[in-house]
Amino acid sequence: MRLTVIGTGYLGAVHAACMAEIGHEVLGVDTDAGKIEALAAGRAPFFEPGLPEILARNTEAGRLRFSTSLKEAADFADLHFVCVGTPQRPDSLAADLSHVEAVFDGLAPLLTRDSLIVGKSTVPVGTTRLLSRRVAARVRPGVEAQVAWNPEFLREGFAVQDTLRPDRLVVGSAAPHADQLLRTVYEPMLRAGVAYVGTDPATAELVKVAANSFLATKISFINAMAEVCDASGADVVTLADALGHDERIGRRFLSAGLGFGGGCLPKDIRAFLARAEELQVGEAVSFLHQIDGINDRQRRRTVDLARHLVGGWFAGRRVAVLGATFKPDSDDVRDSPALAVTADVVAEGAHVRVHDPQGLDNARTALPGPEYCTDVMAACRDADLVLHLTEWRQYRALDPAELAAVVRAPRVLDARNALDRAAWHAAGWHVRALGRPAHV
Ligand code: UGA
């Protein structure tokens, strides 16, 4: 099939490449000429394992092309996926829909044939209905354009596999042929047994925000338990393991620590709160304020514990930070808990060196102030404290004895509960974590 993907940021670039990978002819469109140039040359403009390979393979095969022209998109296909961002508005908790609206408003008058426009961005419930009206008011006479919503559930770092083998496909549409068309698009996935949920647009929009709200709730729940563990001498990791054996609960997303960040979970729960207020059901989801609050508190708890570990104040202390991205296997530092903690420690006067395997360029732009190091040993040299803030595999593989030899004091705060405490302790380290008794 021929299709376009409009918006080639994180979601769109992956979707376009994966749609080509399963055999479709794809045109990716974005207003950012630099991004389009990189993608057309088969280069991913961000770090995502597996993406460069499928980009290169499909651009070389001619199944995947890129353009900056919406007109070209309208001419190329009559199925369009919209993947532009919906960031938090600067003045409120709500989502900024201006990019989504600009694409729908811009595309509609350019359509010359009956078309289906499928939104994939995360939007407030009710958006498809509003966009359908905008599109109907802008198409040329005689042209019919339907709107459907097909939310995306991919995780950064696993984006390619999540797109090619999702847990489920959700399609919300009031147009009868949309369902059939999307079943054809996703036929290889359906053949492989992926569940397909066909529903109305409001339910489809809500599935996405409900899923992210649930995941955020799970993380904040275990982080709340971590605070209780700290107060009572219990161990949150063993607690999570034991809870996880109950299949109704499950172990995933029960890793206690610095909490959630990134471009999705934090802004999605806030946008949901804003939308629920508009729908007069703010009270029903008001617990999400607490989920957000518990999450923020982990950042403060980490800074407090770090300050305590270096003797009560940061001024004159040297702190090594391991990890800047919001999670491993990503170069994304948007709302990164690691960078938020780093910013506070810098602001309190510590001399901070930061290492990250992939996120240094983005971190440097987001937070000037600390020294950024490409070498872990260099970051840790003469440190009074090592802060482990993002659980990259590389940090778990460090030799604690080798590291102990370069620091000024072998103290580590493992804010992700991911290091092998026994090994670090055996190598002479004073090991602290969130929600676990001190290992002294
Ligand atoms: C999240 C969802 O997992 C995806 O399903 C969704 O499609 C995506 O948002 C989106 O809306 O686009 P992502 O932001 O890539 O994906 O990252 P996650 O793997 O969900 O991690 C989010 C944050 O939670 C990270 O900061 C991570 O460190 C933290 N986390 C995760 C924990 O603190 N504890 C856990 O147990 C799990």
ipTM value, please give it: 0.97
DSSP state of 55: H
Mean pLDDT across the stretch 57-70?
96
For residue 379, the enclosing domain spans: 217-440
- Give me the residues paired with residue 342 across strands: none
pLDDT of residue 440: 54
Q: What percentage of the chain exceeds 70 in pLDDT?
A: 100
**Matching residue, tokens 């102030």:** 369
Q: Please give the number of the atom of ligand 1 that sits closest to the Cα of 258.
A: 33
- The per-residue pLDDT for range 272-329, each reduced to its tens digit, is 999 999 999 999 999 999 999 999 999 999 999 999 999 999 999 999 999 999 999 9
- Ligand 1 center–CA 120 separation, angstroms: 18
Does residue 204 fall inside a structural domain? Answer: no
- pLDDT of residue 439 exceeding 80: no
pLDDT of residue 176: 82
Q: Please give the number of the atom of ligand 1 that sits closest to the Cα of 416.
A: 33
Single residue among 168, 199, 230 that ends a domain in this structure: 199
pLDDT of residue 438: 86
162 touches 329 (CB < 8 A): no
Q: Please list, in sequence order, all residues whose beta carbon lies within 8 angstroms of the beta carbon of residue 355, skipping any fewer than 6 positions away.
A: 320, 321, 322, 323, 324, 372, 373, 374, 375, 376, 378, 379, 380
pLDDT of residue 45: 86
> Among 334, 343, 392, which residue's Cα sits nearest to residue 367?
343
Ligand 1 and 257: CB distance under 6 A:
yes
Does residue 8 fall inside a structural domain? Answer: yes
Does residue 31 fall inside a structural domain? Answer: yes
Ligand 1 and 435: CB distance under 6 A:
no
Q: Please give the number of the atom of ligand 1 that sits closest to the Cα of 10.
A: 12
Average pLDDT of the chain is 97
The structure tokens listed for 300 are 């403060």
- pLDDT of residue 125 exceeding 70: yes
- Ligand 1 center–CA 220 separation, angstroms: 12
Are 305 and 158 members of one domain? no
Are 335 and 239 members of one domain? yes
Specify the residue with its C-alpha closest to ligand 1, atom 30.
260
Residue 228: which H helix or E strand, with range? helix 201-232
* Cα 392 from Cα 308, distance rounded (Å): 25
Single residue among 152, 170, 199 that ends a domain in this structure: 199
Which residues form the catalytic set? Answer: 264
* Cα 205 from Cα 186, distance rounded (Å): 19
Are 158 and 241 members of one domain? no
- pLDDT of residue 149 exceeding 70: yes
Are 257 and 345 members of one domain? yes
Calculate the CA dihedral of residues 298, 424, 348, 305 and round it to 10 degrees: 40
Ligand 1 and 403: CB distance under 6 A:
no
* Cα 414 from Cα 391, distance rounded (Å): 9
* Cα 326 from Cα 88, distance rounded (Å): 17
- The per-residue pLDDT for range 385-419, each reduced to its tens digit, is 999 999 999 999 999 999 999 999 999 999 999 99
| Sign of the torsion angle spanned by Cα atoms 130, 133, 135, 138 | negative
- The per-residue pLDDT for range 215-270, each reduced to its tens digit, is 999 999 999 999 999 999 999 999 999 999 999 999 999 999 999 999 999 999 99
- The per-residue pLDDT for range 319-356, each reduced to its tens digit, is 999 999 999 999 999 999 999 999 999 999 999 999 99
Are 227 and 190 members of one domain? no
Angle made by CA atoms 308, 312, 317, in degrees to the nearest 5: 95
When divided into structural domains, the chain yields a total of 2
Q: What percentage of the chain exceeds 90 in pLDDT?
A: 97
pLDDT of residue 175: 86
Does residue 209 fall inside a structural domain? Answer: no
Q: How many CB atoms lie within 10 A of CB 96?
A: 17
Helix (H, G, I), strand (E, B) or coil at 173: strand
Are 246 and 191 members of one domain? no
- Ligand 1 center–CA 76 separation, angstroms: 35
Ligand 1 and 332: CB distance under 6 A:
no
Instruction: Check which CATH number belongs to the domain holding 345 and give it.
Output: 3.40.50.720
pLDDT of residue 205: 98
> Among 342, 339, 193, 208, which residue's Cα sits nearest to residue 267?
208
Ranges 40-44, 77-81, 204-208, 431-435: which has the least confidence: 40-44
| Sign of the torsion angle spanned by Cα atoms 255, 168, 74, 135 | negative
